[in-house]
């Protein structure tokens, strides 16, 4: 039996490291994924705020959309896709609580609509949105008891 060459040993060791790191990365990415229904809305902890947005396509054709959530001047989360006619999708963004205001925008082929809210007044913001005639519309409310959302249209 011949002794493996140094280059072969280093190559095998490098592959092992890459596979170990990839496995760790996948495990980290999947942490918290238990296959539970997406209809459950996580409740933010005291250090978090969340926005739960349900988007319905009320048109007879599929519509492209993009939802962007900002914390101050930074984009913190975004969702995009094509929503089939008559279908809806639910998106949840959970963010670290700061003193900055948060805002979201809904973009579609027909326009853009958005709203700003203050996490000090509402930590659990809920948006019921629709695309109708290609244009986004929405109603927003605070889910947390005793809190009311402050808003300024965008």
The contacts of residue 45 (CB under 8 Å, 6+ apart) are: none
Residue pair 147/123 in contact by the 8 Å Cβ criterion: yes
Q: Quick one: average pLDDT of 27-44? A: 44
Q: Which run of H or of E encompasses 22?
A: helix 6-30
Q: Quick one: average pLDDT of 9-28? A: 49
Whether 15 has a pLDDT exceeding 70, the answer reads no
Strands lying side by side in the sheet with 88-96: 88-96, 48-57, 124-132, 135-142
Strand partners, 55: 89, 129
Whether 84 has a pLDDT exceeding 70, the answer reads yes
Look at the block and give the residue holding tokens 């984009």: 75
Q: Quick one: average pLDDT of 41-51? A: 69
135 in helix, strand or coil? strand
Position 97 scores a pLDDT of 86
Distance separating alpha carbons of residues 15 and 46, to the nearest angstrom: 42
pLDDT band of 143, cuts 50, 70, 90: confident
**CATH superfamily assigned to domain 48-153:** Type VI secretion system, lipoprotein SciN (2.60.40.4150)
Greater confidence, 46 or 8? 46
pLDDT band of 127, cuts 50, 70, 90: very high
Task: Parse the chain into domains and list their residue ranges.
Answer: 1-35, 48-153
């Amino acid at each position: 039996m011949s002794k493996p060459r140094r280059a072969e040993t280093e190559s095998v060791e490098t592959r092992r490291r890459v596979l170990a790191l990839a496995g760790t990365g996948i495990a980290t990415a999947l942490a918290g994924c238990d296959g539970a229904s997406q209809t459950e809305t996580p409740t933010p902890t005291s250090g978090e705020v969340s926005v739960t947005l349900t988007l319905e396509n009320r048109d007879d054709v599929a519509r492209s959309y993009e939802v962007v959530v900002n914390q101050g001047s930074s984009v913190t989360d975004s969702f995009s896709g094509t929503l089939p006619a008559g279908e809806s999708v639910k998106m949840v963004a959970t963010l670290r609580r700061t003193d900055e205001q948060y805002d979201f925008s809904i973009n579609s082929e027909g326009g853009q609509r958005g709203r700003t809210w203050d996490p000090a007044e509402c930590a659990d913001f809920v948006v019921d949105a629709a695309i109708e005639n290609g244009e986004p519309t929405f109603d927003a409310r605070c889910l947390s008891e005793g809190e009311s959302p402050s808003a300024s249209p965008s």
